Amino acid sequence: MTASAPFAPDALLAAFDDRVGGVPTHLSRAPGRVNLIGEHTDYNDLPVFPMALQRDVRIALRPRDDSLVVLHNTAEDFPSVEFEIEPDIPPYVQGAWGNYVKAPASELARRFAIWRGFEGVLQSDVPVASGLSSSSAVVNAVGLALAHINEVGSEPRSFAEVMADAEQYVGTRGGGMDQAISLGARNRHAAKITFSPLRLRHVNVPDDWCFVVADTGKRAEKSKAAMAAYNLRRKECEEALREVAGHVATVNISEKLHTSYPELVAAMDTGTLLEAAEDVLTGNLLRRFRHVVSEAARVEEAVDRMYAADVTGFGALMDASHASLRTDFHVSSSELDEVVAVAREGGAAGARLTGAGFGGCVVALADRWTVGSVLETLVAEYYERRQMVDRIDDRLFVAVPSSGASFQELG
Protein backbone atom coordinates (compact mmCIF):
# COMPACT_ATOMS: atom_id res chain seq x y z
CA MET A 1 0.00 0.00 0.00
CA THR A 2 2.56 2.52 -1.14
CA ALA A 3 2.45 4.82 -4.12
CA SER A 4 5.14 5.78 -6.57
CA ALA A 5 4.13 9.43 -6.90
CA PRO A 6 3.73 11.08 -3.47
CA PHE A 7 1.55 14.15 -3.65
CA ALA A 8 0.06 16.40 -1.00
CA PRO A 9 -2.30 19.19 -2.11
CA ASP A 10 -0.98 22.71 -1.58
CA ALA A 11 -3.90 23.57 0.71
CA LEU A 12 -3.05 20.62 2.95
CA LEU A 13 0.63 21.59 3.10
CA ALA A 14 -0.34 25.15 3.96
CA ALA A 15 -2.71 23.92 6.67
CA PHE A 16 0.06 21.76 8.13
CA ASP A 17 2.46 24.69 8.26
CA ASP A 18 -0.23 26.82 9.92
CA ARG A 19 -1.48 24.28 12.48
CA VAL A 20 1.63 22.20 13.18
CA GLY A 21 4.55 24.18 11.79
CA GLY A 22 7.09 23.28 9.14
CA VAL A 23 6.56 20.56 6.57
CA PRO A 24 5.12 17.05 6.86
CA THR A 25 7.27 14.01 6.19
CA HIS A 26 4.51 11.58 5.18
CA LEU A 27 1.06 11.41 3.62
CA SER A 28 -1.48 8.75 4.60
CA ARG A 29 -4.62 8.46 2.50
CA ALA A 30 -7.67 6.22 2.35
CA PRO A 31 -10.59 6.50 -0.08
CA GLY A 32 -14.29 6.48 0.60
CA ARG A 33 -16.38 3.86 -1.13
CA VAL A 34 -19.71 3.36 -2.83
CA ASN A 35 -21.39 0.00 -2.40
CA LEU A 36 -22.93 -1.00 -5.72
CA ILE A 37 -25.03 -3.82 -4.28
CA GLY A 38 -25.01 -6.02 -1.18
CA GLU A 39 -26.35 -3.92 1.70
CA HIS A 40 -26.46 -5.15 5.30
CA THR A 41 -24.93 -8.44 4.20
CA ASP A 42 -21.31 -8.02 5.30
CA TYR A 43 -21.99 -8.34 9.03
CA ASN A 44 -23.88 -11.53 8.19
CA ASP A 45 -20.73 -12.89 6.47
CA LEU A 46 -22.40 -12.69 3.06
CA PRO A 47 -20.86 -10.98 0.03
CA VAL A 48 -20.85 -7.33 -0.98
CA PHE A 49 -19.86 -5.57 -4.21
CA PRO A 50 -18.38 -2.09 -3.65
CA MET A 51 -15.75 0.06 -5.32
CA ALA A 52 -13.43 2.72 -3.94
CA LEU A 53 -14.08 6.36 -4.80
CA GLN A 54 -11.76 8.98 -6.22
CA ARG A 55 -12.54 10.99 -3.07
CA ASP A 56 -10.43 10.30 -0.02
CA VAL A 57 -9.21 11.24 3.43
CA ARG A 58 -5.64 12.59 3.42
CA ILE A 59 -3.43 13.12 6.46
CA ALA A 60 -0.21 15.10 6.17
CA LEU A 61 1.86 14.11 9.18
CA ARG A 62 5.16 14.05 10.98
CA PRO A 63 6.03 11.22 13.41
CA ARG A 64 6.72 12.06 17.04
CA ASP A 65 9.17 10.47 19.46
CA ASP A 66 6.51 9.99 22.13
CA SER A 67 3.04 8.44 22.37
CA LEU A 68 1.07 11.61 21.66
CA VAL A 69 -1.29 11.84 18.68
CA VAL A 70 -2.26 15.37 17.64
CA LEU A 71 -4.56 15.66 14.63
CA HIS A 72 -6.17 18.81 13.27
CA ASN A 73 -8.96 18.90 10.67
CA THR A 74 -9.19 21.44 7.86
CA ALA A 75 -12.99 21.40 8.25
CA GLU A 76 -13.95 23.90 10.93
CA ASP A 77 -16.81 21.74 12.25
CA PHE A 78 -14.36 19.15 13.56
CA PRO A 79 -12.22 20.13 16.56
CA SER A 80 -8.59 19.08 16.97
CA VAL A 81 -7.87 15.73 18.58
CA GLU A 82 -5.08 15.06 21.08
CA PHE A 83 -4.48 11.93 23.16
CA GLU A 84 -1.87 9.43 24.37
CA ILE A 85 -1.68 6.01 22.73
CA GLU A 86 -2.66 3.16 25.06
CA PRO A 87 -4.72 -0.05 24.75
CA ASP A 88 -7.78 1.43 26.48
CA ILE A 89 -8.08 5.03 25.32
CA PRO A 90 -11.11 6.73 26.90
CA PRO A 91 -13.57 7.68 24.12
CA TYR A 92 -15.07 11.08 23.50
CA VAL A 93 -18.85 11.46 23.61
CA GLN A 94 -20.68 9.15 21.20
CA GLY A 95 -20.75 10.52 17.66
CA ALA A 96 -17.58 12.62 18.05
CA TRP A 97 -15.29 12.38 15.03
CA GLY A 98 -12.27 12.01 17.29
CA ASN A 99 -13.40 8.51 18.23
CA TYR A 100 -12.55 7.41 14.69
CA VAL A 101 -9.00 8.64 15.34
CA LYS A 102 -8.77 6.94 18.72
CA ALA A 103 -10.24 3.65 17.43
CA PRO A 104 -7.24 2.43 15.38
CA ALA A 105 -4.76 3.74 17.95
CA SER A 106 -6.43 1.78 20.72
CA GLU A 107 -6.72 -1.41 18.66
CA LEU A 108 -3.12 -1.30 17.41
CA ALA A 109 -1.84 -0.61 20.93
CA ARG A 110 -3.81 -3.57 22.23
CA ARG A 111 -2.67 -5.96 19.49
CA PHE A 112 0.85 -4.80 18.73
CA ALA A 113 1.87 -2.58 21.66
CA ILE A 114 2.48 0.42 19.40
CA TRP A 115 3.63 3.53 21.22
CA ARG A 116 4.81 6.14 18.72
CA GLY A 117 2.39 8.88 17.72
CA PHE A 118 2.32 11.68 15.16
CA GLU A 119 1.17 15.23 14.59
CA GLY A 120 -0.76 16.03 11.48
CA VAL A 121 -3.59 17.67 9.59
CA LEU A 122 -6.51 15.83 7.98
CA GLN A 123 -8.26 16.94 4.80
CA SER A 124 -11.17 15.11 3.18
CA ASP A 125 -13.44 15.44 0.16
CA VAL A 126 -15.55 12.39 1.08
CA PRO A 127 -19.04 13.69 1.96
CA VAL A 128 -19.72 13.27 5.68
CA ALA A 129 -22.68 11.23 7.00
CA SER A 130 -23.68 10.28 3.45
CA GLY A 131 -23.23 6.51 3.39
CA LEU A 132 -19.89 6.74 1.55
CA SER A 133 -17.79 5.50 4.46
CA SER A 134 -16.05 8.75 5.37
CA SER A 135 -15.64 7.53 8.95
CA SER A 136 -13.99 4.25 7.95
CA ALA A 137 -11.68 6.20 5.65
CA VAL A 138 -10.55 8.18 8.71
CA VAL A 139 -9.98 4.96 10.66
CA ASN A 140 -7.98 3.47 7.79
CA ALA A 141 -5.86 6.56 7.13
CA VAL A 142 -5.00 6.96 10.83
CA GLY A 143 -4.43 3.23 11.27
CA LEU A 144 -2.17 3.03 8.23
CA ALA A 145 -0.10 5.96 9.49
CA LEU A 146 0.33 4.44 12.95
CA ALA A 147 1.16 1.02 11.50
CA HIS A 148 3.95 2.40 9.31
CA ILE A 149 5.34 4.68 12.00
CA ASN A 150 5.49 1.74 14.41
CA GLU A 151 6.66 -0.81 11.82
CA VAL A 152 3.53 -2.96 12.01
CA GLY A 153 2.56 -4.99 8.93
CA SER A 154 -0.30 -3.59 6.86
CA GLU A 155 -1.03 -6.17 4.15
CA PRO A 156 -4.47 -5.06 2.92
CA ARG A 157 -6.56 -8.14 3.71
CA SER A 158 -5.21 -8.82 7.20
CA PHE A 159 -5.04 -5.13 8.08
CA ALA A 160 -8.64 -4.65 6.96
CA GLU A 161 -9.72 -7.20 9.56
CA VAL A 162 -7.75 -5.33 12.23
CA MET A 163 -9.36 -2.04 11.25
CA ALA A 164 -12.83 -3.61 11.18
CA ASP A 165 -12.28 -4.72 14.77
CA ALA A 166 -10.95 -1.26 15.61
CA GLU A 167 -14.14 0.42 14.46
CA GLN A 168 -16.15 -1.51 17.06
CA TYR A 169 -14.66 1.10 19.44
CA VAL A 170 -17.20 3.68 18.26
CA GLY A 171 -20.18 1.48 19.12
CA THR A 172 -21.35 0.23 15.72
CA ARG A 173 -21.40 -3.52 15.16
CA GLY A 174 -20.57 -3.31 11.48
CA GLY A 175 -19.04 -5.75 9.03
CA GLY A 176 -15.72 -5.55 7.22
CA MET A 177 -16.69 -4.18 3.80
CA ASP A 178 -15.68 -0.56 4.29
CA GLN A 179 -12.19 -1.35 5.54
CA ALA A 180 -11.57 -4.08 2.95
CA ILE A 181 -12.43 -2.00 -0.12
CA SER A 182 -10.76 1.18 1.14
CA LEU A 183 -7.51 -0.69 1.78
CA GLY A 184 -7.57 -3.25 -1.03
CA ALA A 185 -9.28 -1.65 -4.04
CA ARG A 186 -7.81 -1.62 -7.54
CA ASN A 187 -8.06 1.21 -10.03
CA ARG A 188 -10.96 0.83 -12.52
CA HIS A 189 -12.30 -2.19 -10.65
CA ALA A 190 -15.10 -3.04 -8.26
CA ALA A 191 -14.58 -5.93 -5.86
CA LYS A 192 -16.80 -8.77 -4.75
CA ILE A 193 -15.83 -9.21 -1.11
CA THR A 194 -16.46 -12.41 0.81
CA PHE A 195 -15.76 -12.97 4.48
CA SER A 196 -14.44 -15.62 6.89
CA PRO A 197 -11.84 -15.61 5.44
CA LEU A 198 -11.72 -12.18 3.82
CA ARG A 199 -11.21 -12.31 0.06
CA LEU A 200 -11.50 -9.71 -2.71
CA ARG A 201 -12.39 -10.70 -6.27
CA HIS A 202 -11.65 -7.73 -8.50
CA VAL A 203 -14.00 -7.13 -11.43
CA ASN A 204 -13.26 -4.63 -14.18
CA VAL A 205 -15.95 -1.95 -14.46
CA PRO A 206 -16.95 -1.61 -18.14
CA ASP A 207 -15.56 1.58 -19.65
CA ASP A 208 -18.97 2.89 -20.71
CA TRP A 209 -20.62 2.34 -17.31
CA CYS A 210 -21.15 5.37 -15.10
CA PHE A 211 -22.14 5.13 -11.45
CA VAL A 212 -23.76 8.38 -10.35
CA VAL A 213 -23.64 9.23 -6.64
CA ALA A 214 -26.40 11.57 -5.44
CA ASP A 215 -26.50 12.87 -1.88
CA THR A 216 -30.07 13.33 -0.64
CA GLY A 217 -29.04 16.02 1.83
CA LYS A 218 -30.47 13.99 4.69
CA ARG A 219 -27.53 13.07 6.86
CA ALA A 220 -26.95 9.45 7.79
CA GLU A 221 -25.95 10.38 11.31
CA LYS A 222 -23.83 8.25 13.65
CA SER A 223 -25.94 9.34 16.61
CA LYS A 224 -26.82 7.07 19.50
CA ALA A 225 -30.29 6.47 18.04
CA ALA A 226 -28.92 5.70 14.57
CA MET A 227 -26.37 3.26 15.98
CA ALA A 228 -29.12 1.58 18.01
CA ALA A 229 -31.27 1.16 14.88
CA TYR A 230 -28.30 -0.27 12.95
CA ASN A 231 -27.34 -2.64 15.75
CA LEU A 232 -30.97 -3.76 16.11
CA ARG A 233 -30.98 -4.87 12.46
CA ARG A 234 -27.92 -7.00 13.14
CA LYS A 235 -29.50 -8.53 16.23
CA GLU A 236 -32.67 -9.34 14.27
CA CYS A 237 -30.61 -11.00 11.53
CA GLU A 238 -28.84 -13.15 14.12
CA GLU A 239 -32.11 -14.17 15.75
CA ALA A 240 -33.68 -15.03 12.40
CA LEU A 241 -30.66 -17.16 11.51
CA ARG A 242 -30.93 -19.18 14.71
CA GLU A 243 -34.62 -19.85 14.14
CA VAL A 244 -34.26 -20.93 10.51
CA ALA A 245 -31.11 -22.99 11.11
CA GLY A 246 -32.79 -24.92 13.90
CA HIS A 247 -35.91 -25.49 11.80
CA VAL A 248 -33.95 -26.76 8.78
CA ALA A 249 -31.99 -29.21 10.95
CA THR A 250 -35.19 -30.47 12.62
CA VAL A 251 -37.22 -30.93 9.44
CA ASN A 252 -34.42 -32.56 7.49
CA ILE A 253 -32.48 -34.85 9.81
CA SER A 254 -29.86 -35.43 7.13
CA GLU A 255 -28.99 -31.75 7.25
CA LYS A 256 -26.36 -30.76 9.77
CA LEU A 257 -27.01 -27.66 11.85
CA HIS A 258 -25.91 -24.70 9.75
CA THR A 259 -24.77 -21.98 12.12
CA SER A 260 -24.04 -19.18 9.66
CA TYR A 261 -25.71 -17.47 6.72
CA PRO A 262 -23.01 -18.66 4.28
CA GLU A 263 -23.61 -22.27 5.33
CA LEU A 264 -27.36 -21.97 4.85
CA VAL A 265 -27.03 -20.21 1.49
CA ALA A 266 -24.55 -22.84 0.28
CA ALA A 267 -26.77 -25.73 1.41
CA MET A 268 -30.09 -24.60 -0.09
CA ASP A 269 -31.25 -22.62 -3.09
CA THR A 270 -32.77 -19.23 -2.37
CA GLY A 271 -36.38 -20.21 -3.00
CA THR A 272 -36.25 -23.29 -0.77
CA LEU A 273 -34.49 -21.38 1.96
CA LEU A 274 -37.10 -18.61 1.95
CA GLU A 275 -39.88 -21.19 2.06
CA ALA A 276 -38.25 -22.72 5.14
CA ALA A 277 -38.02 -19.26 6.72
CA GLU A 278 -41.72 -18.65 6.17
CA ASP A 279 -42.46 -21.77 8.23
CA VAL A 280 -40.91 -20.33 11.40
CA LEU A 281 -40.53 -16.57 11.02
CA THR A 282 -43.06 -13.75 10.98
CA GLY A 283 -43.01 -9.96 10.97
CA ASN A 284 -39.69 -8.17 10.97
CA LEU A 285 -37.60 -11.29 11.50
CA LEU A 286 -38.97 -12.77 8.28
CA ARG A 287 -38.45 -9.48 6.46
CA ARG A 288 -34.83 -9.16 7.65
CA PHE A 289 -34.04 -12.77 6.72
CA ARG A 290 -35.66 -12.39 3.30
CA HIS A 291 -33.64 -9.28 2.53
CA VAL A 292 -30.31 -10.75 3.61
CA VAL A 293 -30.71 -13.99 1.66
CA SER A 294 -32.13 -12.39 -1.49
CA GLU A 295 -29.53 -9.61 -1.40
CA ALA A 296 -26.72 -12.17 -1.28
CA ALA A 297 -28.17 -13.82 -4.38
CA ARG A 298 -28.35 -10.43 -6.11
CA VAL A 299 -24.65 -9.84 -5.41
CA GLU A 300 -23.71 -13.12 -7.10
CA GLU A 301 -25.82 -12.28 -10.14
CA ALA A 302 -24.54 -8.69 -10.25
CA VAL A 303 -20.96 -9.92 -10.59
CA ASP A 304 -22.01 -12.01 -13.59
CA ARG A 305 -23.88 -9.06 -15.09
CA MET A 306 -20.80 -6.82 -14.77
CA TYR A 307 -18.56 -9.43 -16.39
CA ALA A 308 -21.09 -9.60 -19.24
CA ALA A 309 -21.32 -5.78 -19.45
CA ASP A 310 -25.10 -6.18 -19.08
CA VAL A 311 -26.08 -2.71 -17.90
CA THR A 312 -29.81 -3.45 -18.04
CA GLY A 313 -29.50 -6.61 -15.97
CA PHE A 314 -27.27 -4.95 -13.39
CA GLY A 315 -29.67 -2.02 -13.12
CA ALA A 316 -32.63 -4.32 -12.52
CA LEU A 317 -30.76 -5.90 -9.61
CA MET A 318 -30.13 -2.45 -8.13
CA ASP A 319 -33.85 -1.66 -8.34
CA ALA A 320 -34.71 -4.94 -6.62
CA SER A 321 -32.14 -4.24 -3.92
CA HIS A 322 -33.64 -0.85 -3.14
CA ALA A 323 -37.15 -2.27 -2.99
CA SER A 324 -35.94 -4.89 -0.51
CA LEU A 325 -34.11 -2.32 1.61
CA ARG A 326 -37.27 -0.21 1.69
CA THR A 327 -39.91 -2.86 2.36
CA ASP A 328 -38.03 -5.66 4.13
CA PHE A 329 -35.14 -3.94 5.90
CA HIS A 330 -36.84 -0.61 6.60
CA VAL A 331 -33.75 1.57 6.13
CA SER A 332 -34.87 3.84 3.30
CA SER A 333 -36.37 7.31 3.63
CA SER A 334 -38.66 9.55 1.59
CA GLU A 335 -35.62 11.43 0.29
CA LEU A 336 -33.83 8.25 -0.78
CA ASP A 337 -36.96 6.94 -2.49
CA GLU A 338 -37.42 10.23 -4.34
CA VAL A 339 -33.85 10.37 -5.62
CA VAL A 340 -34.11 6.76 -6.82
CA ALA A 341 -37.32 7.62 -8.70
CA VAL A 342 -35.86 10.78 -10.25
CA ALA A 343 -32.71 8.96 -11.38
CA ARG A 344 -34.83 6.30 -13.06
CA GLU A 345 -36.94 9.05 -14.67
CA GLY A 346 -33.74 10.52 -16.07
CA GLY A 347 -32.80 7.27 -17.76
CA ALA A 348 -30.78 5.37 -15.17
CA ALA A 349 -30.71 1.61 -15.69
CA GLY A 350 -31.21 1.18 -11.95
CA ALA A 351 -30.76 2.98 -8.65
CA ARG A 352 -30.63 2.15 -4.96
CA LEU A 353 -29.67 3.60 -1.62
CA THR A 354 -26.05 2.92 -0.72
CA GLY A 355 -24.61 2.57 2.75
CA ALA A 356 -26.50 1.73 5.90
CA GLY A 357 -29.50 3.85 4.90
CA PHE A 358 -31.70 6.16 6.98
CA GLY A 359 -30.37 8.99 4.78
CA GLY A 360 -27.20 9.65 2.81
CA CYS A 361 -26.68 8.78 -0.84
CA VAL A 362 -28.18 6.96 -3.78
CA VAL A 363 -26.07 5.22 -6.41
CA ALA A 364 -27.51 5.03 -9.93
CA LEU A 365 -26.17 3.21 -12.97
CA ALA A 366 -26.14 4.78 -16.42
CA ASP A 367 -24.06 4.41 -19.53
CA ARG A 368 -22.02 7.18 -21.13
CA TRP A 369 -24.89 8.00 -23.51
CA THR A 370 -27.51 8.51 -20.78
CA VAL A 371 -25.45 9.76 -17.83
CA GLY A 372 -25.88 13.39 -18.88
CA SER A 373 -29.65 13.04 -18.82
CA VAL A 374 -29.54 11.40 -15.38
CA LEU A 375 -27.44 14.22 -13.96
CA GLU A 376 -29.56 16.96 -15.54
CA THR A 377 -32.80 15.39 -14.32
CA LEU A 378 -31.50 15.04 -10.77
CA VAL A 379 -30.44 18.69 -10.72
CA ALA A 380 -33.74 19.96 -12.14
CA GLU A 381 -36.17 17.64 -10.35
CA TYR A 382 -34.49 17.22 -6.97
CA TYR A 383 -31.73 19.70 -6.16
CA GLU A 384 -33.24 22.84 -7.70
CA ARG A 385 -36.67 22.13 -6.23
CA ARG A 386 -35.09 21.80 -2.79
CA GLN A 387 -32.77 24.78 -3.30
CA MET A 388 -29.73 22.54 -2.92
CA VAL A 389 -27.70 23.60 -5.95
CA ASP A 390 -24.98 25.17 -3.81
CA ARG A 391 -21.92 22.91 -3.74
CA ILE A 392 -23.62 20.72 -6.34
CA ASP A 393 -20.31 19.07 -7.28
CA ASP A 394 -20.07 17.76 -3.72
CA ARG A 395 -23.65 16.53 -3.72
CA LEU A 396 -23.76 14.95 -7.18
CA PHE A 397 -20.91 13.32 -9.07
CA VAL A 398 -19.90 10.38 -11.24
CA ALA A 399 -17.89 7.90 -9.19
CA VAL A 400 -14.54 6.79 -10.61
CA PRO A 401 -13.45 3.30 -9.47
CA SER A 402 -10.14 4.04 -7.79
CA SER A 403 -7.22 2.40 -6.02
CA GLY A 404 -6.98 1.67 -2.32
CA ALA A 405 -5.19 3.35 0.57
CA SER A 406 -1.53 4.34 0.56
CA PHE A 407 1.19 5.63 2.88
CA GLN A 408 3.82 7.79 1.24
CA GLU A 409 7.05 9.47 2.21
CA LEU A 410 7.09 13.05 1.02
CA GLY A 411 10.27 14.22 -0.64
Q: Looking at the annotation, which residues are catalytic? A: 178
Instruction: Please list, in sequence order, all residues whose beta carbon lies within 8 angstroms of the beta carbon of residue 310, skipping any fewer than 6 positions away.
Output: none
Where does 87-208 show beta strands of DSSP type E? 118-124, 189-194, 199-204
Q: Chain-centre distance of CA 173, in angstroms?
A: 13
At 350, give phi and psi (nearest 5°): -175, 160
Q: Do the Cβ atoms of 131 and 361 come closer than 8 Å?
A: yes
Rounded (5°) CA angle 81-408-119: 20
Pick the closest to residue 171 from 221, 111, 126 (CA basis).
221
Q: Do the Cβ atoms of 280 and 250 come closer than 8 Å?
A: no
Q: How many C-beta atoms lie closer than 10 Å to residue 386's C-beta?
A: 12
Q: Do the Cβ atoms of 317 and 288 come closer than 8 Å?
A: no
Taking phi over 0 as left and psi of -120 to 50 as alpha, with beta for the rest, 74 belongs to alpha
